[in-house]
Structure 1
């Protein structure tokens, strides 16, 4: 008994020390993640958005690394470049895009003071030169360092975002295999992880597809409207506003209302101030925008793209509430938090409440079939068992 007791003491102390070390490492890791949480969450969003494309490329490129590089340069880099260009044009014309009603609407989400300052500098570069002349050498140095800091910060965040996307695309099979071996194949954590990964992939990819469709339709529709409308009732910056309409469509049920309703109000105001009676143009625009950018996409397009999408009411709370709680990156983090919470509630809580062994199964409804465990079934191998396909198809979770 004494020998057994003597062997127990150092073992328990060692385990306590290991737990403390693990806790310290976790705190340090979470602190580092917190500093770049917006960048990392956006990178995760982009990964899920382009993962189906990467799986298609994997079927044609033998190397996972080269497939990830191809996906990055063919999809992610052009997408970031487009977003940057549209953001630059929007900042240059912020006074045109944001009337008082729109400013009040977006004030809780963005810092309009900083955007207005950037707009003044971008739209009037001569102001920078005048300011430098007045401030002298010290002002030149200060402004140069400030500009270098802004550019460096942007480059760092874009680089980290791209690195997150690249390494997840390249190594997601290894991450899946590690997770499966760590928690045990078929364990509650294994099944829960598969469900979370599948639902997050479904939500993110369907949102990107829907946003892209609405953005293209909006840009084409706004540009087509300007071709037939008189100059006094034309839409300013139709391409930029089209892209913004697509971005606004990420919020379920809201679709493009955040953009095309203020545009309609602007057009009605311009038509009423014109003595030639041009109300037919804003009326036609409003009807067309409601039908082709709102009603038809919501009724027919989104259900097809979303498939087993989560409840639209919950998704509205996820997007709007996530943005209010976390900031701009809550647009991507909110749905992730909702999916994790919902899967835990559906998979674990019922067993815990009943006192049964925790064993989430795949038969929670049509979304839980074995075929739907992969967000892209077209990339599954025909000669592998079903469980192996869940790992080898590129999912980051089990």
Structure 2
């Protein structure tokens, strides 16, 4: 009797420890989900490295660093180049601010810019301390800094967890099977194996969709630039930068690459307006918006992604998992939605028939 009571206490203790583990890790669920994505993308690289290097720690580190370099470095270069292009248009942006903001705010912005130009430090600090400037500039900047630091932490967690998944992921799956009750060992092994294959197909498909979006954007922007009015032509480097950002922001839920092409279209429109060629350039602006919205945005995201990421699952369900996941969970839902879908479908295919036989 006492032994049965102790088993009950141990089960209760296990539930308590598991609940504490979930409570501790839940705030960082986003980083863990991104780590799973990195794991499946870096796994093919690691397999090739394993043939030449024996140390799994070294191959895991090289694989994940290589993957991050392929994503982060082009993004940083593109962002820096675009920021440099925007900075060269600083006078145009100041004129735009003067025309858009109310008169009182425009005056404050002009005073702030003037104080920076003449390096009047005391006057600049006095302006910064004013409530108007703080509400317009400093408070949004503070919030932006907080968001940046939080996502820096999330990316660090994704890197660390992804590294350990690469190094010990297969051992972890084997441990789960070995520690299962003997009568359930076969079911759990099959369930984990099927989930692994399906998630590999889906997440590699997500990455391929990014690459396809980048290629579509590069071709579309190049062709559009050939027929663009002289005042709206852009450099080849800027085309490449915008294309890379389109590929990257294809990952963002809901907004997607609209965060790239919509501001670009607005800037083109404002540039044509201030140069007095808006009506003459209207045809190009409409074609630009149509091509970017349909060919670069809609086709890869809504049509190609479900087919590429199908993994033997109905394409409509895959598409809905991306949509529902992002609506419910935010950015991490782009990856968490398919994980939940695959977990449910494999449970129905693998586990339920076994339960029915019993």
TM-score by length of 2: 0.68
State how far apart, in whole Å, the 2-side matches of 1:131 and 1:164 are.
43
Q: Pick closer, same or farther for the CA change 1:91–1:265 going to 2, 3 Å.
A: closer
Preserved CA contact (<8 Å) 2:173 2:192:
no
Deviation, structure 1 residue 346 = 2.3
Preserved CA contact (<8 Å) 1:251 1:315:
no
> 1:179 and 2:176 equivalent?
yes
The equivalent position to 2:38 in structure 1, one of 46, 56, 63, is 46
Q: Pick closer, same or farther for the CA change 1:66–1:131 going to 2, 3 Å.
A: same
> 1:279 and 2:283 equivalent?
yes
Question: What corresponds to 2:99 in structure 1?
Answer: none
Preserved CA contact (<8 Å) 1:256 1:293:
yes
> 1:66 and 2:55 equivalent?
no
Higher helix residue share: 2
User: What RMSD in Å do the two structures reach over aligned CA positions?
Assistant: 4.6
Alignment of 1:86-101 (within 5 A): none
Preserved CA contact (<8 Å) 1:50 1:71:
yes
Alignment of 1:191-202 (within 5 A): 191-202=190-201
Q: Pick closer, same or farther for the CA change 1:61–1:273 going to 2, 3 Å.
A: same
Deviation, structure 1 residue 182 = 1.7
Preserved CA contact (<8 Å) 1:215 1:242:
yes
State how far apart, in whole Å, the 1-side matches of 2:266 and 2:241 are.
18
Q: Which moved more, 1:21-30 or 1:213-222?
A: 213-222
Preserved CA contact (<8 Å) 1:315 1:335:
yes
The equivalent position to 1:314 in structure 2, one of 310, 314, 317, is 317
Deviation, structure 1 residue 262 = 8.5
Deviation, structure 1 residue 36 = 0.5
Question: What corresponds to 2:129 in structure 1?
Answer: 135
State how far apart, in whole Å, the 2-side matches of 1:288 and 1:345 are.
40
Question: What corresponds to 1:246 in structure 2?
Answer: 247
Preserved CA contact (<8 Å) 2:310 2:318:
no
Preserved CA contact (<8 Å) 1:42 1:332:
yes
TM-score by length of 1: 0.62
The equivalent position to 2:165 in structure 1, one of 165, 168, 182, is 168
Deviations 1:272-324 (A, max 9, x none): 96444662675488469856776599888985x54635322212221121111
Preserved CA contact (<8 Å) 1:226 1:235:
yes
Alignment of 1:1-398 (within 5 A): 9-83=1-75, 130=124, 134-135=128-129, 153-183=150-180, 184=182, 187-234=186-233, 238-239=239-240, 241-247=242-248, 249=250, 274-276=278-280, 279=283, 282-283=286-287, 286=290, 290=294, 303=307, 305-306=308-309, 308-352=311-355, 355-357=356-358
Q: Pick closer, same or farther for the CA change 1:152–1:321 going to 2, 3 Å.
A: closer
3-state SS, counterpart of residue 330 of structure 1: helix
What stretches of structure 1 of length at least 5 have no aligned partner? 1-8, 97-119, 358-398
3-state SS, counterpart of residue 357 of structure 2: coil
How many residues were matched structurally?
Answer: 313
Deviation, structure 1 residue 235 = 7.1
State how far apart, in whole Å, the 2-side matches of 1:154 and 1:301 are.
26
Deviation, structure 1 residue 244 = 4.5
State how far apart, in whole Å, the 1-side matches of 2:288 and 2:73 are.
33
Question: What corresponds to 1:108 in structure 2?
Answer: none
Deviation, structure 1 residue 81 = 4.4
Q: Pick closer, same or farther for the CA change 1:347–1:77 going to 2, 3 Å.
A: same
Preserved CA contact (<8 Å) 2:322 2:334:
yes
